[in-house]
Every structure is written in C-alpha cells, then in structure tokens.
Amino acid sequence: MRYIIGREREVNRLNRAMAENEAQLIIVYGRRRVGKTYLINEYYENRFDFKFTGSYNRSTKEQLSLFTLELNRYAQTEHSVPKGWTEAFMLLRDYLESADVGDKQVVFFDEMPWMDRQKSGFLPAFEWFWNSWGSARKNLVFIVCGSSTSWLVDNFDKNKGGLFNRKTCRLYLEPFNLHQTEEYLESRDIFWSRYDIAICYMIMGGIPYYLRLLDKELSLNENIDDIFFGRRAELWDEFDQLYRTLFKNSDQYIKVVEALSKKRKGLTRTEIVSTTKIPSNGALTKMLADLTGSGFVRINETFGHKKRESTYQLSDYFTAFYFRFMKDNGGKDEHLWSHMNDNPSRLAWEGLTFEQVCKDHIAQIKQSLGISGVLTETSSWYKQGDGGNPGAQIDLLIDRRDGVINLCEIKFSTSPYEINKRDDVSLKNKVAVFRDTTGTNKTIQVTMITTYGIQKSKYSNYVGTTIVLDDLFERRYE
C-alpha cells in the first residue's frame, strides 16, 4: 500500500475490515472531489478482482454494455451483454467463483448511484446478489462508492428491505483540515505561509481535487486567478457540474444554497421557504437532508433555542466563493483575485469565512484550550436590539460540561490584533446581554481566536484566553 496523506483513520478501518474472516460490504461516502476513489485505488494499489465505474447519465443498456466490457477483460471471456442487472450479477458471481483461490477477493463498484437508473432493476439485483451469495463468502470484500451521499444513505443506511443492516463498514470522507492541507501541499513541494494556506482553505475547503490543481511555481493569488478566473479556467464550470451530477432537479438545490450564501448566520426552514418560494413539503425536507448529508450545508444550533429553531448555514467553501466572486464575474476580469488584494469586499469575506474555518476546527480549538476530554456543545447566539437596548451576536460559543462557556470572538488580520476601546465595549456588551438574556450562571470566558494573537494594550486584559492560527493547524488527536 502506498502512502496516503490525511486518511490514517480510514486506512486503519480498512485494515480492520481486511482482517475480518467474513464477507465485507464497505460503503464509502463523501462530497464529490473529496478523494473517495483515490483512497480505494491507492489502498488496494489498483489491484482488484473486479472493478466497475458507473457512468453519469447513461442508459441502463449502456451501463450493462460497459459492465460486460469490464467483465470480459477481467475474466478473459466473450460474454454477450446481459438483458438486465440480475443476469449481470449472475455473470459476476460465476466469474468470482471460477477465480477463487482462497485469497481475499476485492470488488469495487465506483459511482454506484449512477447505475441505479429508474426502472433499471439495479438495486433489487444487487440485493439478491449480496443476500443470496455474496454475504456468505468469507473472503469477499465488496466496496461501494459514490458521490451521491443521499442515495447511499437512502439505500444502505435507511434501507428497510434486502439491504437492511447489511453494510459491515462505513467510511465517510471529510475534506482535509488545515493540518492535512498543509501536509498535502508540502508533498507537492508547495511551501506557503500558514496565512496563505488559510486563505487557500477558505476558497477550496480542503478538497484534494482542487488542491491538486495548484501550481508550485505560482503565488497564491496567481493560482486563484489561473484556476478560477482565467479564460476557460480549470474550474470555470465546476459549480454547474458539481450540483448537476449530484442532485436530480439541481436547480432547486442551487436556489437553496444561493439563498444561504446571502445570509451569514444562516436561515431557518421558514426563511428558506420565504426566500426561495420552494413549498415547505417533503421535497424540501429531502433537499435539506441531501445538502447536509453531502457536506454542503450544516445545521447551526442556536444557544438556548429548540432544535426546530435551528438555522441552516452554507458550509461548502467553494460554493460560497462561487456566489461571492465567480457567479457575476463571467470572465470579465481574468486577474480578479490579484486585483482585489486590499479590496474591502475581500477583507470582509476573509473575516466572515475565517469564522467558518474555526467552526470546522473545534477539535483543535478544544485541544488548545486544554479541554479535549470535556464534553461540550458548540453553537452561535444572537439577540436583536429593541427599544434602545443593544443587541448582540456571538458567532461561536463552546458550552462546557465543567461549568464554563467560552465566548469566542474571531478576528482575521495580517498582524497581532489590537483591541481598541470600541472592541472592549462590544465584548463587554456581548457578555452582559448574553448573561442577562439566557440567565446562565456558568462562568463566561472571553476567548479571542486570531491569526497572530492580540497586541497587549490597556483593553486586552479582558480576554481570558487566546488562540492563534497555528493552533488550528495542530494535528487532531482522537
């Protein structure tokens, strides 16, 4: 097995699955471009007893034809194209039996959701294949992979029929965190400052496929212009392809994420309905579940509020970047990112997006605070001002079981952050309004999360703890 960056947990789990003395049905989930296929190919060094990849938007007849071509190549036979998937799986069964010499037999079906077209009979055929034969083969390892997380969840996790509780191993691949991103870039001889890596992360979100496009000979700004804004750039049409290949009726999904992109604190379900004009029915429930399951949207809990009052926040960095800078550019400025180096709009985006980076590195923040072993809940909180009474907004609260709440103030800057009188008043107001409104009797500890720490001043003593960008790059231990 070759060295795989950033996937130690997944590799360890695959090692355990391979050591089992019973049939293994391994399901691999994750956002498109996150590296699912790469992980499986590298782990098994592309040595499979059979591998088949579904094709997007191909008919069942075409899928079966491609399946037969692959089977004939592996088995060195001349099978004709089967009439349906049941016959196809019977041919696969015959081939695996004839090739069985007692060693592990590894079968990899990549992009399985694309095989399951309407009226194709694919899923019932696979259920029959697995339940009648595959599950009894102690040396069979069958890997199912696909970018459509919702399809995999519906047909494996929530299956009430023949595949109920059949999976033996489930791997959900998340995007790289900052530590893994740095490790990956250095493996490609890209040695940038952590400040630049953080900016890169705010755009690409730790998606290996996007990171692979970076040119070590170019600066960060030059890379972003080249990849996103150049004429027919590598990712000029990525947004449309991403949503079209993942979701049926993708226009409706795009309406939801576009609405969320315009609201920093997110939207409640009611607000989503009001903004998009999509009816509040089962179809919307399915869309929101698909978007959260695929990692494009997160459910943001609000301190002290009931679950039904939670908001949905856009959590996919590329999608947010697309709506903020790409959608309306349309090739007008091929060097837009370089031209915006000191633009207030870009600086505002950096500040807001850094808040999301922090939310995606809660484990590292807890580690820096020395509370990794303490049970916590993270949330945001806000109160609208009324009648002359000031409101307050807190983007990150860490509510700890040990009787402490970390009220986190997040600032992204190019130098140590200097807390001025206005900041001091704002921080004290947030604490006062939060305590008065929630009635909490817990200790509130003000925590500053900044790029380079805070500069000592007459206002800095109010801050209890400080976390810097380097802390977010720490390796995550679990």
pLDDT, one tens digit per residue, over 263-290 is: 988 999 999 999 999 999 999 999 999 9
pLDDT at 164: 66
Average per-residue pLDDT for the chain: 93
| 264/212: higher pLDDT | 212
pLDDT, one tens digit per residue, over 97-115 is: 999 999 999 999 999 999 9
Q: Is 477's pLDDT higher than 60?
A: no
pLDDT, one tens digit per residue, over 356-370 is: 999 999 999 999 999
pTM, to two decimals: 0.93
All domains in the chain, ordered by first residue: 8-173 (3.40.50.300), 178-236+331-354 (no CATH), 239-325 (1.10.10.10), 361-472 (3.40.1350)
Residues 188-224 as b/e (b if ≥16 CB within 10 A, e otherwise) read eebebebebbbbbbbbbbbbbebbeebeeeeebbebb
- Segment 154-170 shows an average pLDDT of 79
pLDDT at 478: 45
Residue 471 and residue 473: Cα distance in Å, rounded? 5
Q: In which band, very low, low, confident or very high, does the pLDDT at 349 lie, cut at 50, 70 and 90?
A: very high
Map the chain to HEC letters: CCCCCCCHHHHHHHHHHHHCCCCEEEEEEECCCCCHHHHHHHHCCCCCCEEEECCCCCCHHHHHHHHHHHHHHHHCCCCCCCCCHHHHHHHHHHHHHHHCCCCCEEEEEECHHHHCCCCCCHHHHHHHHHHHCHHHCCCEEEEEECCCHHHHHHHHHCCCCCCCCCCCEEEEECCCCHHHHHHHHHHCCCCCCHHHHHHHHHHHCCCHHHHCCCCCCCCHHHHHHHHHHCCCCCCCCHHHHHHHHHCCCHHHHHHHHHHHHCCCCCECHHHHHHHHCCCCCHHHHHHHHHHHHCCCEEEECECCCCHHHCEEEECCHHHHHHHHHHCCCCCCCCCHHHHCCCCHHHHHHHHHHHHHHHHCCHHHHHHHHCCCCCCEEEEEEEECCECCECCEEEEEEEEECCCEEEEEEEECCCCCEECCHHHHHHHHHHHHHHHHHHCCCCEEEEEEEECCCEECCCCHHHCCEEEEHHHHCCCCCC
Q: How far is CA 383 from the centre of its chain?
A: 30
Among residues of the chain, what percentage have pLDDT more than 70? 97
Residue 67 and residue 79: Cα distance in Å, rounded? 11
